[in-house]
Structure formats: structure tokens, C-alpha cells
Amino acid sequence: MDAKQSKVAVVTGAGSGIGRAVAVELLRAGWSVALAGRRAGALEETAALVPDGASAAVRTDVSRPEEVAALFAATADRFGRVDLLFNNAGTFGPGGVPVEDLPYEAWRHVVDTNLHGAFLCAQAAYRRMKEQDPRGGRIINNGSVSAHAPRPHSVAYTATKHALTGLTKSLALDGRAYGIAVGQIDIGNAATDMTEGMRTGALQADGRVAVEPVMDVADVARTVRHMAELPLEANVQFATVLATTMPYVGRG
């Protein structure tokens, strides 16, 4: 399929983990995908997983407005439009640090990446989607089950994921007039490098350290693709995909 005729996605944080899995899922389904992330080499590795796919690697720090603007300009130049933004770039920040000991610089880095970056990318996507012909598109924000219940010592990450829920709702409301659908996927314990520690033991709310189950990240990718391929008249506002037996629903 010609890149200019296929659906076009921008996936942030595409160099690893959930972002890589979603990018690969979309490329295999015939989408054209702009791969965004801080590490150019990792983006090229993602592209190589689907060698016949229509992809473009664009090194991007989503916390920097000028780099986000360049990402969407490069996507439009290469593929002609933007149909989907998967707002995925994010960081946990330093693990296991009590709130009273968290350095401001660490707090700021998490907020800049998870919240400011998501806003900047959504704003740039919104501008493109509002003006392109045909008008409209979809934004999917990567939230977390931390948007509902925090882990111990995760104040920066949890605060940003709660804020993403507000961002999702506001964007969804404002996008109605322009055919822009906005939803959020909240993910719990997908097996990636970021969750590797859960296989050996994660701090629980009662102070215990316990091994937690994880799920295949490909199951997350398929869910994002389902959300992405709905007609714009339909929207998954919020979806939660999690390892079935992880300690999330219930007490303890």
C-alpha cells in the first residue's frame, strides 16, 4: 500500500516496550508509522522488525516544543497527514524513593515527559487533524492503572497519570467539533523492560515485597490497534488492560 494512501500514526516512545509493540502491530496491519523517541538507534531497531513497513524514525524529546513540532512536520511531509497519535512516551522516574526524599529535578523530569510531553504531542496532532482534508483523527493516551491506584513511592508517576486522565477528557470534549476522537488505555503489568522488576518482587501497599504476574505486551498492542481502527463515529473513551491476577482489584 502506498504510504500516502494508508492510515498514518505517530507513536511516541517507539524505541522500546509498549511503544515498540504498538508500532510493530500497526506496521504489520498496513499503517504508516512515524516512530518517535529519544534514542535514534532504538527507533531503527523497531523499524527493522517490520522491514517492509512504511515507517520513519524521528528522534524526538517530547518535552521540547520545537522537537515535537519538527516530529509532526516530518510526519506530514513524509506521509501527508496524521490519523492517529499514540501518546506513549513516559518514565517512572527513580524507583523506591520516598516523597520527602524525591529531588525536584527528578519530579520535574517525570512531569516534563509524562504530562508536558503528552500535551505538546496532543496539541500538535490536534492542529494537524483539525486542518487536514479529510479532517479529523484519533488520539490515544497511554495512562496506567496508577491513574486509579498508586504504588508506594510513585508520587511523580502517579500524579502525571491522574493528570493524563483529565487531559484525555478535555481533549475528547474539545475534539468533538472537528472529528477528533480521544481515548485512554490504562495498562497494568505488561511485560517490558520497565516492569522486569515485578518478576522478582515489587513493593506492596502493606510493605511486603511480592512477585507480580505480567501479561504479554502484544495483548496491549492489539487493544490499541482495535481502538485505533474504529470509525471516528465510535470511541473507546477508557480501556483497562491488565494481568488478570495482578494485585489491583481488591484489598491488600
- Altogether, the residues listed in the chain come to a count of 252
Burial of 87-125, coded b for 16+ CB within 10 Å and e otherwise, reads bbbbbebeeebeeeebeeeebebbbbbbbbbbbbbbebb
| 248 a catalytic residue | no
Residue 10: alpha-carbon gap to chain centroid: 10
Confidence category of residue 202, pLDDT binned at 50, 70, 90: confident
Domains of the chain: 8-242 (3.40.50.720)
**Contact in structure between 44 and 27 (CB atoms under 8 Å):** no
pLDDT at 5 over 70: no
Q: Which one of 104, 126, 157, 248 is the catalytic residue?
A: 157
Is beta strand 202-203 parallel, antiparallel or unpaired with respect to 32-37?
unpaired
Residue of higher predicted confidence among 9 and 215: 9
The sheet with strand 137-142 has its strands ordered as 54-59, 32-37, 8-12, 84-87, 137-142, 180-188, 238-242
In this prediction, residues 219-239 reach a mean pLDDT of 97
First to last CA, the chain: 51
pLDDT 10s digits, 70-88 = 999 999 999 999 999 999 9
Interhelix angle 155-175/117-131, nearest 10 degrees: 10
User: Using CA atoms, how far apart are residues 115 and 186, in angstroms rounded to an integer?
Assistant: 15
- pLDDT tens, 87-105? 999 998 887 799 999 999 9
Q: Could you report the per-residue pLDDT of 164-197, keeping only the tens digit for each?
A: 999 999 999 999 999 999 999 999 888 877 666 6
Least confident of 87-101, 121-135, 219-233: 87-101
The model's pLDDT over 13-48, given as tens digits with 9 standing for 90+, comes to 999 999 999 999 999 999 999 999 999 999 999 999
Mean pLDDT over residues 51-56, rounded? 97
What is the spatial distance between Cα 241 and Cα 186, in angstroms, rounded to a whole number?
Answer: 6
